[in-house]
Amino acid sequence: MSKHAFIFPGQGSQFVGMGKNLYENNPQAKELFERANSILGFRISDTMFSGTDEALKQTNVTQPAIFLHSVIAFKTLVTATPDMVAGHSLGEFSSLVANGCLSFEDALKLVSIRAKAMQKACEQNPSTMAAVLALADDKVEEICAAIQNETGEVVVAANYNCPGQLVISGSIKGIEIACERLKAAGAKRALVLPVGGAFHSPLMASAKEELAAAIEATTFNIPTCPVYQNVVAKAVSDATEIKKNLIDQLTGAVRWTQTVQSMQTDGATHFTEVGPGKVLQGLVQKVFKEAVVDGVN
């Protein structure tokens, strides 16, 4: 039987004006945005609807903003019941609200703690990420490992987005060396990204500690359907395991290619991206060409 997967985007999908239509045309959405404003202690909805690109790009704003757009769209526009859910990085929190594992309020609080802790880790450790195009994953991993061994600089594979697109993460020097070597090894591009830090790398260890304490203190319910988590790229339904994987995700890789492959193996044929942008729809089609993909926002 073919299954319907709901997937939720991560950082990078934000845009000024996101969620404004929902707020203006849907009383339930408006109520949820206002609840979020009071939980966060500032009017994030104002920044989302009419702020500057710069204000929206701050990690501690971006993450709750994308989460809110995704979850409020899911709660107010989606009538189908997911057979499975997944999210890219931050999107994993949205997916855990969609399958009932986390409440809206608890998930928003965790996202806010995560975003602030990550921002702090970025300020403590100037670091960055780079997109590597058209080079085999194992080749990228091999080159990153060699640089770490030789120089002691942190550089790791962070986001396996789709075949031929892998994002690496690490110290500024480590990433610079890696970009040169990866191009020499045949990568079509190795391009430093405009991000504030080395997400999904060991340089997020301090943020991981802070998030772990908050996650351990939060109630996780039995989910209504499995979540395919970034670090293990397979179906998980046990609340204790979900918590562990969510914590490990901060310093571990986002295995999106492998996640989509697992969902496909388990019967998913229809993928609906819920939230801002269409990034994941494009990635799913690159992994699984026959998939039906659409979006809700």
Strand order in the sheet with 155-162: 155-162, 165-171, 127-133, 189-192
Cα dihedral 203→226→216→208 (10° resolution): 0
Asked whether the beta carbons of 179 and 192 are under 8 A apart, the reply is yes
**94 among known catalytic residues:** no
Asked whether the beta carbons of 249 and 272 are under 8 A apart, the reply is no
Rounded-to-integer distance, Cα 32 and Cα 273, Å: 20
Beta strands in 134-198 (DSSP E): 155-162, 165-171, 189-192
**70 among known catalytic residues:** no
Nearest to 129 by CA among 142, 144, 114, 117: 144
Rounded-to-integer distance, Cα 30 and Cα 222, Å: 28
Specify the residue for token string 């998939």.
291
Considering the candidates 70, 171, 200, 262, report the single residue annotated as catalytic: 200
Other beta carbons within 10 angstroms of residue 55's beta carbon come to 14
Q: Which amino acid is at 200?
A: H
Considering the candidates 89, 127, 171, 201, report the single residue annotated as catalytic: 89
Active site residues: 89, 200
